[in-house]
Amino acid sequence: MPRGNPSPKLAITIDPEVHKRIVAAATRDGVSISAWMTSAAREVLQRRAGLAAVAKWERQHGSFTAEEIEEARRRVRNQLQTSRTTRRSA
């Protein structure tokens, strides 16, 4: 009998080309395919939750202006550049 909270298992069918790319990406990242797939799924779910939050905010307050969207893009670009710089220097 397993202890704790064992992870559930999934059996999936996947396109052969996508499979090759997943295996290659997991190998490059130095993680198992399960860990890579979990991370990818987590990122998609987080992105969807973020988009849902934005849609809810816009329903309550109105659409973002072009200026607000451009400011958000600028901030994301800056965060990505900072993140890449931090990873390279580590």
pLDDT averaged per 10 residues, the chain (length 90): 79 96 97 96 97 96 96 94 72
Contact 24, 33 (CB under 8 A): no
Q: Where are the domains of the chain?
A: 16-89
Return d(Cα 72, Cα 82) in angstroms, integer: 15
What is the pLDDT at residue 7?
87
pTM value is 0.69
What is the pLDDT at residue 5?
83
What is the pLDDT at residue 18?
97
Residue 62 DSSP symbol: -
What is the pLDDT at residue 23?
97
And the tokens for 45?
A: 């779910």
What is the pLDDT at residue 87?
63
